Amino acid sequence: MAGQRADDNGKTVRIGTRGSPLALAQAHEVRDRLVAAHGADIAVEIDVISTKGDRIIDRSLSQIGGKGLFTEEIEERLTDGRIDIAVHSSKDMPTKLPEGLALSCFLEREAPEDAFISHKVSKLSELPKGAVMGTSSLRRRAMLLRLRPDLQIVEFRGNVQTRLRKLEEGVAEATLLAVAGLNRLGMADVAASVFDLEEFLPAPGQGAICVESRIGDERVDRLLSPLNDADTATALACERAFLDALDGSCRTPIAGHAAVGADRIDFHGMILSPDGKQWHACRESGRLDDAAALGRACGNRLRAEAGDAFFADWGGSG
């Protein structure tokens, strides 16, 4: 079946996705946009696929393998033709994809910022000394400790609802969630406050839904073309090139955000030690058609500036 479409009558598009409420909301958004663009010419089905990252929730991502944990099973079905496209959060995607697959479409980006969530205080600076903060993200951990080295960080795996429940149960006094995810779930009011991008850089790709498909599938490319947002694709080309230059995965505290203007792109990137005590940052601006080269140059610059010893402490970049 390898290389065949999931539906050979040319009308059905089968979407593969994880089964969390947020993943389903993202898949439904892609479905709705496909139907809006093509109407009665297509039928869209959603195939919910369990991934290793969803099943193993008692350990951090860095301990069990990194970003690919949320994509491997989905990509297997995409490669062999059981699904036509896969819908992902861009920040979950490794920079190296399986042979024959590509990120072929980016929906218009939602808010890239992180939200501060707490029932006790409204922002990070108001937490008492030694407060317990819950997160499973090495980037968020490092960024938090950079700002507040007194904090105690505890592991907080699971989907949005699971993490909010842990907060209710008192496992931690506060946590962080992506603003985009809360918005897509209709839960924006959960945020006590939102971090400024200058203070707290997001993960590369945060807030952007991407669609993965088979290279050379002209039918799918044609169907996805109206959904692709050029500005988001440009920003992600920059951010993912930065990540790729640093060999980044969920095992590495890397942050970065590209802002796209009318004819220029502005990028701000950072790498941190896991304890937040050391960091290196870069800022660069350039032409839109140089987005990927700009991101890669920033990544290479930080790698050279930090030196090999800095990366050795990460325990492998996966």
pLDDT digits (tens, 9 = 90+) for 46-71: 999 987 666 555 555 555 555 567 78
| Stretch 262-288: mean pLDDT | 96
pLDDT digits (tens, 9 = 90+) for 27-36: 999 999 999 9
Q: Where residue 158 falls among pLDDT bands split at 50, 70, 90?
A: confident
Look up the CATH architecture of domain 12-107+208-228: 3-Layer(aba) Sandwich (3.40)
Q: Where residue 238 falls among pLDDT bands split at 50, 70, 90?
A: very high
pLDDT digits (tens, 9 = 90+) for 102-133: 999 999 999 999 999 999 999 999 999 999 99
User: Is there a catalytic annotation at residue 41?
Assistant: no
- In terms of Cα–Cα distance, which of 90, 94, 143 is closest to 254? 143
The pLDDT value recorded for residue 247 is 79
Residue 311 in this model has a pLDDT that exceeds 90:
no
Active-site residue, selected from the candidate residues 8, 41, 54, 92: 92
The pLDDT value recorded for residue 68 is 65
CATH of 240-304, one of 3.30.160.40, 3.50.50.60, 3.40.190.10, 3.30.2320.80: 3.30.160.40
Q: Where residue 317 falls among pLDDT bands split at 50, 70, 90?
A: very low
Q: What percent of the chain has pLDDT over 90?
A: 80
Task: Please answer whether residues 6 and 12 qualify as being in contact, where contact means their C-beta atoms are separated by less than 8 angstroms.
Answer: yes
Let me know if the fold of 114-194 is the same as that of 240-304.
Answer: no
According to the CATH classification, is domain 114-194 in 3.40.190.10?
A: yes
Residue 9 in this model has a pLDDT that exceeds 70:
no
pTM for the complete prediction?
Answer: 0.90
pLDDT digits (tens, 9 = 90+) for 63-94: 555 556 778 899 999 999 999 999 999 998 98
| Stretch 3-9: mean pLDDT | 48
Contacts of 64 (CB under 8 A, 6+ apart): 52, 53, 56
Domain boundaries, the chain: 12-107+208-228, 114-194, 240-304
